[in-house]
Amino acid sequence: MKAIKNMERIKVMNYVLCALLVLLGVVSRIIAHIPNFTPILSIALMSSLYIKNRLIILIPISIMLISDLFIGSHITAPWIYFSILVICLIGYFVKNNIHNIFLYSIVSSILFFIISNFGVWFSGGYTYSLEGLILCYTMAIPFFKNTLISTILFSTLIYLLYNAINLLIKRSQSNKIFEH
C-alpha cells in the first residue's frame, strides 16, 4: 500500500514539474531577456532525464508553440524544434548525476548551435557557399556563449531543485514511519 502511495506521489510530482517547466519556459521566452539566455534547452534535457516517457517531448515543444503564439514564428523554427527534439532524446538516456548534467548541458548547447545555425544558413540567411556557412557560424558565436551559460546554469538549478524536493519527500516519509 505504501509503495502505491509513493508511486502516486512521484507521479503527481512529475505532473507538477511538467506544468511548472512549461510555465517557466513560456514566460522566459516572452519576457525581455538576453538573447539565447532561456531555460528551454535545459528543460528539454532535464525533463526527459527525470520523466522517462516518450511523450515528454511535448513539454519543450509546448513551450515553443505557446510562446511562438506571442512572439511570432520564424523561418528557422523547424530547425530549432528539431534541435530541441534531439536534446530531449539525449536526456532520455542520460544518467542522473551532476557530471552528466554538466557534460550534456555542453553537448546540448553545441548541438543547438550547429543545428540552428545550419538552419539559418540553409534558410537563406547567408550566401549558399562554404564562405557563407562559415560566416553564419562565426556571426553566431556571441550567441553561443549565452546559450552555453544559460543551459549549464538552468540544468544545474533544475538538478538541484529536483533532488532537493526528492530528499524532502523521502525525509517526510521516513518521519511518518517513525511516528507510527
Residue ranges of domains in the chain: 2-179
Does the pLDDT at position 16 exceed 70?
Answer: yes
Closest CA to 105 of 166, 149, 56: 149
Which of the four pLDDT bands, split at 50, 70 and 90, describes residue 3? Answer: low
In terms of C-beta density within 10 A (0-12 exposed, 13-18 middle, 19 or more buried), how is residue 91 classed? buried
Q: What is the pTM of this model?
A: 0.86
Distances (CA, A) of 135 to 38, 121, 131, 139: 25, 9, 6, 6
One-letter amino acid of 118: F
**Least confident among 23-27, 47-51, 60-64, 77-81:** 47-51
> What are the φ/ψ torsions at residue 165 (nearest 5 degrees)?
-65, -40
Q: Which three cell numbers stand for residue 125?
A: 540567411
Model confidence over 35-68: pLDDT tens digits? Answer: 999 999 999 999 888 888 878 889 999 999 999 9
Model confidence over 100-139: pLDDT tens digits? Answer: 999 999 999 999 999 999 999 999 989 999 999 999 999 9
DSSP 153: H
Which of the four pLDDT bands, split at 50, 70 and 90, describes residue 176? Answer: low
Comparing 98 with 180, the larger pLDDT belongs to: 98
Closest CA to 110 of 71, 72, 79, 83: 83
